[in-house]
Amino acid sequence: MHRTDITTALADLVFNPGLDLHEAADRHFAPDYRQRTDGRWDDRDDFLAHIAHLRGVVAEGSVEVHDELYDGVRYADRHTVHITKTDGSTVRTEVYLFGEFAPDGRFRRVEEVTLMIEGAEADRKLGSAR
């Protein structure tokens, strides 16, 4: 079984705007995908609305994984997302993520907590903005 990871998923979803949003999501996220970010639960449609918003404000970016663990269907990591927005400003957010894979290796559930390291106060909720 091939399993996705956060670096590849975010590259396709956010940093590759030429790739259709739904195609990118289908590569990495199961149909019943749910995500909780900083205490707020979203279903797959809400999550895709969030990603569509990010695609409109992010010019480029990257993911730096500090720690990553696979254990059966469980996944955990600590990563930093580096973003340059279309207005030229930058945001750096550290993310603590726990997830679960579907049998086909796509994410079924992700729960994450974010900590903004660099950016404007208005960017503090970028991890769940729509």
Q: Is the pLDDT of residue 78 over 90?
A: yes
Q: What is the pLDDT of residues 17-51, one digit of tens each?
A: 899 999 999 999 999 999 999 999 999 999 999 99
Is residue 130 within 8 Å of residue 53, measured between CB atoms?
yes
Structure tokens of 53? 């918003």
Task: Write the CATH number of the domain with boundaries 6-123.
Answer: 3.10.450.50
Q: Is the pLDDT of residue 120 over 90?
A: no
> Domain locations in the chain?
6-123
pLDDT given for residue 121 in this prediction: 84
Please state, in angstroms and rounded to a whole number, the distance separating the CA atoms of residues 128 and 57.
13
Please state, in angstroms and rounded to a whole number, the distance separating the CA atoms of residues 108 and 116.
25
Q: Is the pLDDT of residue 129 over 80?
A: no
